[in-house]
Amino acid sequence: MTAPIMLLTLREIPKFPPPWGYASANRPEERRGRRLARLGFVTLKLVFLRAAADIPGETGQELQRRIRQSSEPIELWLLRAQVQAALPEDEGRSSGHVAAIRHALANVYPVGSPLAEDGLR
């Protein structure tokens, strides 16, 4: 006599990780923190993309590509000097982009953090 075949769903398999929403359902402060961190990163990325859009030529295209591929704020922080150096000097918009980058970085990195000292003009 053969044993009956048991069909298990993924939920019934021991130690199967629960879905993301279920795992953090009882911790609203953690969800809120993750949401705010993600919003800060997306805002920072948009500021960098706007600045890189004003950079002409292949340099601008390469910087835009690298900014789009970034997945963490530290990657954008590392690109800040390259973006600043590539911005056209003669336009008044450059100083606006630098100020926007500085403000966005200040929102992502707290005061007193080594990354808060950005060295932008």
Domain boundaries, the chain: 28-108
What lies within 8 Å, CB to CB, of 28 at 6+ separation is none
- Provide the CB-side half-sphere exposure for 109 (13 A, CA): 18
Q: So what's the pLDDT on residue 121? A: 45
For the chain, what is the largest distance between any 2 Cα atoms, rounded to a whole number of angstroms? 86
Q: Output 63 or 4, whichever has higher pLDDT.
A: 63
What's residue 55's pLDDT? 92
pLDDT at residue 24 tops 80: no
pLDDT bin (cut points 50, 70, 90) of residue 28 is: confident
The CA radius of gyration of the chain, in Å to the nearest whole number, is 22
